Structure 1
Amino acid sequence: MEAQITAITKAAFFHLRQAKQLAPYLSRPDLATVIHVTVTSRLDYCNSLYVGLPLRLTQKLQRVQNAAARLLMGSSLRDHIHPVLYQLHWLPVEYRIRFKVLVLTFKALYGLGPSYLQDRLSWYVPQRNLRSANKNILKIPGHREVRLASTRARAFSAAAPVWWNALSQETRALWDLTSFRRACKTELFHQAFGQGAA
C-alpha cells in the first residue's frame, strides 16, 4: 500500500497548492467544497483497506488532512491541529478508517453490503445463558481462524468485530443506517477528541 498512499498524498498536496491560490477569491463554504472534492474524498476513497497499516503510512495521510484543515481555517503551522480538526468536526484519518470499517460492518450484518463480508462475521453466542447474549456482540476469531500474525491486524474478520464490540450497546442496537452512521461518528469523535479540543 506504500505506493498507493504515496500517490494519494502527492495528488492531494498538488490540489491543496491549487486550492491555496484560489483561497483569497473563495468564501469559506466554497473553499470547503473544493477541498472536499479534491482532497478529503481522496483520503476517504477505499480507506477501509488501510486497516493495520504502519503508523508512518497513515501519518502521511494525516499530514494531508492537517494541511487541508489549516488551509480551510487559515491557521498556521504553529497552531496545534487538534482544535482545528475539532472545530471543523473532522475525524482524524485513523478514526475515518475505523468509521468506514464500522459502516461496512453494519451493512454486512443487515444485508446491505456484499455477502463476502457478511460471511466473515458472526454473532457471539455464549455457551450458557449469559447477560451478554442479547447485546449485539460479534465473535472475535481466534488465532487458528486468522493464522498469520502479520495479516491478522489487517483482516476485516479480526478488526471489524473488535471495533464493533467497542461501540456502545445503544449504537450497536440501531437498525437504521443513517442513525447508525450518526451515532457511530459521534462516538468516534468523542474517542478522538474527548469532550472537547485540547
Structure 2
Amino acid sequence: MTVNKLKLNMDKTEFLIIGSSHHLKNLPPLQLQVDNTTVEPVDNVRNLGIYFDQTMSMDKQVAELCRRLNYQIHNIARIRRYLDSETCHHIIRSLVTSRMDYGNSLLTGITETHLHKLQRIQNKAARIIYGLRRREHITPYLHTLHWLPVRQRINFKLLVLIYQSIHHEAPVYLYNDICLHSSTVTNTRILRSAMDTTRLHIPKTSKTIGDQAFYVAGPRTWNTLPISIREAPTTNTFKSLLKSYLYPY
C-alpha cells in the first residue's frame, strides 16, 4: 500500500479469527499492530452484505436476515389492504424473497432451528399475499405460488453454481474447487476431455465446518441428482428440471 501511495483506513479495519469453539476458547488474546495502531479482533464481519462469524455457524447472518425480512413484511402488511394480490406478490418478490435468496448458498449446512426461522418468514410472506390468518394451513398456497421451501432454495442455488462451474460459466476459483470422480481426475482439476462424466469427487473432511464448504457440500448434493438432470444441455434447462425435482408439494 505504501508503494502504491495508499493509506489503510484504520477506522474500517478489523480482523476475524475463525475456528471451532474449542480452539477459540483456548486462544490467547490476540491483537494486530498496523502503523502504530492496535486492531482488535471481532466476533463477526460483514462482506458484501453477508455476516461471517467465528465458527462459521452463520448465526449472525440468519439473525440479521430475519430482522430485515420481518421489517419488510411488517411494512407490506400495513398497506396490504390497498393492494391487489398480484401487486402484493410483486412487492414480496422484490423486497422479501429476493433478499432471502441473496447469497443463500452460504447457508448450506445451517441448523434446523435456523431453517425453521427462515421458513416461518417465507410462510408469513405467502399469508400476506393471500390475506390468510395465522392458523390457516399454508402448504396449498405455497404450492400455488410454486415457491421452493427454504432448504430446497438453498440447495437449488448451490447446485446451479456447481452446474455453472462444470460448464465454465462460473468464476475460475469455483471451477478449480471441484473435480470429477477419481477415474477422471488429474491434479484435482476437471479434465476438459472428460466433461461427459457427471459424477463429482467428494473430498474427505474431519470437521463439520469442512462439510459446509462449497467443494464438499456441492459435490455431495450434486451426486444425489438423477443423471438426466446432471446432463442437462443448458443452464435454463437444468434450472427447470432441478426445480421440478426439488419441488416437494
Does TM, normalized by the shorter one, top 0.5?
yes
Deviations 1:75-130 (A, max 9, x none): 22222232221121000000000000000001111111011111121112449xxx
Q: Tell me, in whole angstroms, the C-alpha distance in 2 between the residues paired with 1:108 and 1:28.
A: 38
Larger radius of gyration: 2
Distance apart, 1:52 and its partner CA: 0.5
Q: How many residues were matched structurally? A: 182
Relative to structure 2, which stretch is displaced further, 151-160 or 28-37? 151-160
CA distance in 1, matches of 2:131, 2:213: 39
Pick aligned residue for 1:22 from 56, 72, 79: 79
Equivalent residue in structure 2 for 1:111, among 157, 168, 181: 168
Which of 68, 87, 91 is 2:148 aligned to? 91
| Deviation per residue, 1:40-91 (Å, 9 max, x gap) | 1111010010000111112211111010011112222222232221121000
Q: Deviations over 1:112-155 (max 9, x none)?
A: 1011111121112449xxxxxx65111122x2xx3x42213311
Give matches, 1:10-89, under 5 Å.
10-89=67-146
CA distance in 2, matches of 1:7, 1:77: 23
Match status 1:173 vs 2:231: yes
The superposition leaves residues 152-175 of structure 1 with CA deviations (integer Å, 9 ceiling, x where unpaired) of 331111111121111111111112
The match for 2:220 is 162
Unaligned regions of 5+ residues in structure 2, if any? 1-57, 185-195
Q: CA deviation at 1:177?
A: 0.8
| 1:153 alignment partner in structure 2 | 211
Hey, what's the Cα distance between the residues in 2 that align with 1:170 and 1:113? 21
- Greater relative contact order (CA < 8 Å, ≥ 6 in sequence): 1
The alignment's C-alpha RMSD in Å is 1.7
Q: Which structure carries more helix by proportion?
A: 1
Deviation larger for 92-101 or 157-166: 157-166
State how far apart, in whole Å, the 2-side matches of 1:139 and 1:87 are.
37
Following superposition, which runs of at least 4 residues in structure 1 exceed 6 angstroms of deviation? none
Alpha-carbon distance in structure 2 between the residues aligned to 1:68 and 1:55: 20
1:101 corresponds to: 158
Q: Which has the higher strand share?
A: 2
Corresponding residue number in structure 2 for 1:187: 245
Partners of 1:149 and 1:179 in 2: CA distance: 35
